Amino acid sequence: MWVLVLQQLFLEVVLDIIYFPLWWYTVGAVHAGRWCWNLIKDGNDNLAPGIWLANLFTPMFGQTDWEGRIISFFMRLVQIIFRSLALVVWAIFCLGLFFVWLILPVIMVWGLVHSLSFKNKIL
């Protein structure tokens, strides 16, 4: 009985090893892409440069005199610039995470082959 269990376990391990690259670059990549996209959307929700842009010409604190409007305009303009820049940096970071996801198996296989060939040269 235990021979059948070991045979089934061995078969499952071999099939999982064969299926792993296919899963990593199809279903896994789609899942990682959605995760990164949700990170970018969360960054947009937190930084909200669109809301600042929509209220660019609205006076802050209800000050409708020309000094208040000028100060509000430039204050919001600075906020829009820096929040948009922060969002771009966050999006680049998230895309970098996605590309690390894609390249990680290749780096691991290369490192394994490199370390094995290095050990053979020493021996």
In a domain, 46, yes or no: yes
Q: What is the pLDDT of residue 42?
A: 96
Report the number of distinct structural domains present in the chain: 1
Residue 120 and residue 21: Cα distance in Å, rounded?
A: 27
Mean pLDDT of the chain: 90
In a domain, 104, yes or no: yes
DSSP state of 1: -
In a domain, 2, yes or no: no
**pLDDT tens digits along 100-116:** 999 999 999 898 888 88
In a domain, 5, yes or no: no
In a domain, 112, yes or no: yes
In a domain, 15, yes or no: no
**10-residue averages of pLDDT along the chain (123 residues):** 84 89 93 96 94 88 87 93 97 97 93 79 61
Residue 106 and residue 92: Cα distance in Å, rounded?
A: 22
Residue 60 and residue 76: Cα distance in Å, rounded?
A: 9
Residue 61 φ/ψ region, left for φ over 0, alpha for ψ in the -120 to 50 degree band, beta for the rest: left
- Identify the domain containing residue 62 by its residue range: 33-118
In a domain, 13, yes or no: no
Whether the CB-CB separation of 110 and 118 falls below 8 Å is answered with: no
